[in-house]
Chains A and B, each alone.
Chain A
């Protein structure tokens, strides 16, 4: 028996034979068969295509902002245009890229495969949610191209209801409608995970990706309706001038913030929990080692989903919210750091004594751990009442949440996309280019956002298109970083498309990974499995065991064999 633990890179060079004659991609090829499909895998790809368009538009807005901030004077765009740019960037990135990103693309594609089901519980509903998403996108893009909105993605009243004359209504409707898409997706996932698991797939054998999406779905189902209500109230007040949030008419603008953040803070966890799930899969696969503390990671996801609902007030420390309420929210915000830290510790413990290889997905995953840790720790700065007075609405906050959203979720999305790309398309992407892109992304990201921590600490406020000249150095660095980051994003776009036709055949399981999704062909057949699989073991039965005894035994065995 070989002492060499099979590593993924050994298999990277192998070109496997042709894919199965019939799979979900070539079973039917008409446009109609794509637009009316109820196959979860195809719907996942429809989402992928759609959110990439939104990502491109939102990135363009970000690029314009970084260009404007190259010089201290507001010389490239007018201040109002700048306001519209960051609103477009925020709204599209939050509701049309980050929230749907991993759940609707990888979640749709993988959940039935991972639990051994033929499809989600409600395939038609799944397709309907994509069409709802498209409708929402149409409203939002109309608002963008008809002249934009200048309120920021938070739509704070009374600016949004009374003082701005931009297309708030259309954009709020876009957000309102997109919420229903999100609710239906979450509902579908929860029911699927409860009811569609293959025989033997007990809860404690569920892949951690599914656990994290289960937690995400809880938030989607229970928080999103409140967003729907609050955007509806906003639209009604704007149209009829009735004063539900207007102090002049007896209303309270802070109530808008309460209802808005009751959704939008948990939504932050919609934007990171799925990332946790992806990273858990990647870390264990590329360490060839069973995940450390499976139960802790699973329950930490649930804890985050629930605790995430009771911290929203930390966005409102300076909004005339009661200080006492602020103390409670501040305390709970510190509490929620615990389950997040549990996950980071478990991932690093999984790496410990693992047989680590550095393929592209693993590079993204390691980047994620570092950047998420920085993003999470700086979150505590702004969750503390006193320091938040100094840091609120500065670039410190911008840097903090970009470390979570981009450094966390986007890296996890890219890592996951690369990891499951062979399963999705049946082809491999070019590994060296992938590794290079991951590295470029990591460098570009840090150069973009680390200077913003310093700018924020120095007091540079968000949402201004001009600033005093002494801050120019940091802003130039940040803009330079953004252009490197753009290269990091462009590269995968190029080689992934190239790989669709020219990539090497992947075979069923190119990473030698565990998990049901790797036991079917690549690309999978229309109904995923020819025979319903029966699950008989834990999800991460990699060669290296997690416990010390196993490690010692393994070492002893290897020493014997060596001798």
Chain B
């Protein structure tokens, strides 16, 4: 198998000097990533907290505002991210089985599909912009079903939450692309694929955030 040959040619795995062995290094990086993700949960959590308070306070305005979002785009966003997450999981598997070419392809696939998500979301932002739904002095709401202030609060939270999420997607795409290049150059092997794995954790986390954002933002009002 060609994959096995690349493994023999791969450079010896890099152990940093503060660790005793590679296993310790891998486990430390893994735990570190999980801790970072718990920080991220609380980081988004502050916004989820604000969202909960205002949604409970202004249920009608939130429902009315939510109707102005493109539900099908939101559903497509979710599907896109799920596909990307699946590709990422397969990338980790490819790394574990020393399939270097598959690893590169899956990493690029995950990053590319992430790019697709950004494009679709960019289109949604464009539509919101055209409809004057960007909070601030130019904000306008003509629905008339709810006070404009409360609708503006919804859109503010919508932009903050999805904006922060898109920022995370962008960072993820950059990381995955770098890893794909490194994988192409033969940096990873069955013994050493730690960066792929912890980048995977990050990428799945970004997916999880969206899994909650989708129903909370797009599905408030029954259609």
Q: Are A and B in contact, CB atoms below 8 Å, in the complex?
A: yes
Known: A118-B17, A121-B18. A242 touches B43 (CB 8 A): no
Q: Which of B24-32, B102-110, B116-124 is found at the contact surface with chain A?
A: B24-32
Q: How many residues of B contact A (CB 8 A)?
A: 38
Q: Are B135 and A242 in contact (CB under 8 A)?
A: yes
Least CB distance, B2 to chain A, in whole angstroms: 35
Task: Please measure, in the bound complex, the distance between the C-alpha atom of A523 and the C-alpha atom of B164, giving whole angstroms.
Answer: 46
CB distance from B153 to the nearest CB of A (A): 5
Does chain B have a CB within 8 A of A324?
no
A249 nearest in chain B by CB position: B149
Provided the pairs A195-B24, A225-B45 are in contact, do residues A250 and B18 lie with their beta carbons within 8 angstroms? no
**B112 shortest CB reach to chain A, Å:** 29
| Chain A residue with Cβ nearest B46 | A229
Residue of B nearest to A239 (CB): B136
Interface code A218-247, partner B: CB below 8 Å = 1, 0 otherwise?
000111111011100100100011111000
Contact indicator B53/A255 (Cβ below 8 Å)? yes
Q: Which A residues are in CB contact (< 8 Å) with B182? A: none
Q: Is there a chain A Cβ closer than 8 Å to B58's Cβ?
A: yes
**Given A226-B46, A229-B43, A122 and B153 touching (CB < 8 A)?**
no
How long is the Cα–Cα vector from A132 to B162 in the complex, in angstroms? Answer: 26
B149 touching A243 by the CB < 8 A rule?
yes
Contact A240/B53 with A226-B46, A250-B58 known, Cβ cut-off 8 Å? no
CA distance A224 to B35 in the complex (A): 13
**Cβ–Cβ < 8 Å partners of A236 in chain B:** 160
Most chain B beta-carbon contacts within 10 A, residue among A123, A250, A259:
A250
Which among A226, A258, A262 has the highest number of chain B CB atoms within 10 Å? A226
For residue B170, give the distance in angstroms from its CB to the closest CB of chain A: 17
B46:A225 contact, CB within 8 angstroms: yes
B18 touches A242 (CB 8 A): no
Query: Which one, A159-167, A186-194, A377-385, is touching chain B?
Result: A186-194
Residues A244-267 near B (CB distance < 8 A): 244, 249-252, 255, 258-259, 262
Please classify the interface of chain A as helix (H, G, I), strand (E, B), loop, or mixed, using the class held by over half of its residues.
Answer: helix
- A177 CB–B CB distance under 8 Å: no
Q: Which residues of B contact A221 (CB under 8 A)?
A: 35, 38-39
Given the complex, which residues of A lie within 8 Å of B28, measured CB to CB? Answer: 121-122, 191-192, 194-196
Within 1-57 of B, Cβ neighbours of A (below 8 Å) are at 16-20, 24, 27-28, 31-32, 35-36, 38-40, 42-43, 45-47, 49-50, 53-54, 57
Q: Please determine whether B147 and A187 come into contact, CB atoms closer than 8 angstroms.
A: no
Residues on the B chain within 8 Å of A191, using CB: 28, 31-32, 35
Neighbouring B residues of A187 by C-beta, 8 Å: 32, 35-36, 39
* Interface, chain A (partner B; CB < 8 A): 117-123, 183, 187-188, 190-192, 194-196, 221-226, 228-230, 233, 236, 240-244, 249-252, 255, 258-259, 262, 527, 532
- 30 A–B contact pairs at CB < 8 A? A117-B18, A118-B18, A121-B19, A187-B36, A191-B31, A191-B32, A191-B35, A196-B19, A221-B35, A222-B38, A225-B40, A225-B46, A226-B42, A226-B43, A226-B46, A226-B49, A229-B45, A240-B136, A240-B137, A242-B135, A242-B136, A242-B152, A244-B153, A244-B156, A249-B149, A249-B153, A250-B147, A250-B152, A250-B153, A532-B20
